[in-house]
Amino acid sequence: MIQFSKVNKWYGEYQALTDVTAEVKKGEVVVICGPSGSGKSTLIRTVNRLEEIKSGVICVNGQDIHAPGLRINDFRSGIGFVFQSFNLFPHLSVSENVCLAPVRVSGRSKREAREHAAALLDRVGLAHKANAYPQQLSGGQQQRVAIARALAMNPPVMLFDEPTSALDPEMVGEVLNVMKSLARDGMTMVCVTHEMGFAREVSDRVWFMDRGVILEENAPEAFFTAPQHARSKAFLSDLRAH
């Protein structure tokens, strides 16, 4: 579904990604973890081209996303993206947030979009908030709406960039539950997250990144119980110390 092939990226002099080569198969749930500054957010943002790359190839569903001259908008709706800071549109109601792309990009009728939105909101447990505005919702509720909004375009793959990092602890669970149900339904997912419990429970593989390189790649149990690399060991022991 997603193939990274020798991906390199620089911010000026600083190399953010170095020769990243990896693959996410259809139906897989991959968790990317690592210390801050390791390039995990950068990597996931290159998948829908919110970040450009200097060299290498990234293929999503067979399409080279960074091909020059590519009309990226046509492909972005096929990649669901959930942001750390939700980024809901404050001037639109919850339902309108979810309907915006189906109506304006896919050209669906408003009635059709609203019905589809209602179903999605029900799936994330917020059907009763369809007419509310983002400012009236809690952080956890806003993030669940953001997930529904990304799902509205029926993407085959969903990307999550630290979806729970901006939430108060008591709201993390409700968002993770939605993500778990998505995973169980067979969605291809890539998640940058610190939530190791989530990783152990639903992910198929864990990528550990440090300084722009995927240092270690393993099944979750194997990674958490027997990390190979020195820095993975250090990272995990730091996490456990809290």
Name which of residues 80 to 99 contact another protein (CB under 8 A).
81, 83, 85, 87-91
Contacting another protein (CB under 8 A), which of 41, 42, 46, 48?
48
Contact mark string toward another protein, 7..46, x via CB under 8 A: ----------------------------------------
Kindly report the CA angle at 82 between 169 and 159, in degrees rounded to 5? Answer: 110
Return the structure tokens found at 76.
Answer: 């972005």
H-helix segments, the chain: 40-47, 72-76, 94-104, 110-123, 139-151, 169-184, 196-202, 220-225, 230-240
**Is residue 160 at the binding interface for another protein, with CB under 8 A as the rule?**
no
Cβ-count burial of 50 within 10 angstroms (0-12 exposed, 13-18 middle, 19+ buried)?
middle
- Shortest separation between residue 45's beta carbon and another protein, angstroms: 9
Return the structure tokens found at 210.
Answer: 């440090």
**Is residue 77 at the binding interface for another protein, with CB under 8 A as the rule?**
yes
Closer Cβ to another protein, 112 or 238, answer by number: 112
**Is residue 149 at the binding interface for another protein, with CB under 8 A as the rule?**
yes
Cβ-count burial of 230 within 10 angstroms (0-12 exposed, 13-18 middle, 19+ buried)?
exposed
The binding site for another protein (CB under 8 A) comprises: 48, 50, 73-79, 81, 83, 85, 87-91, 100-101, 104-105, 135, 146, 149-150, 153
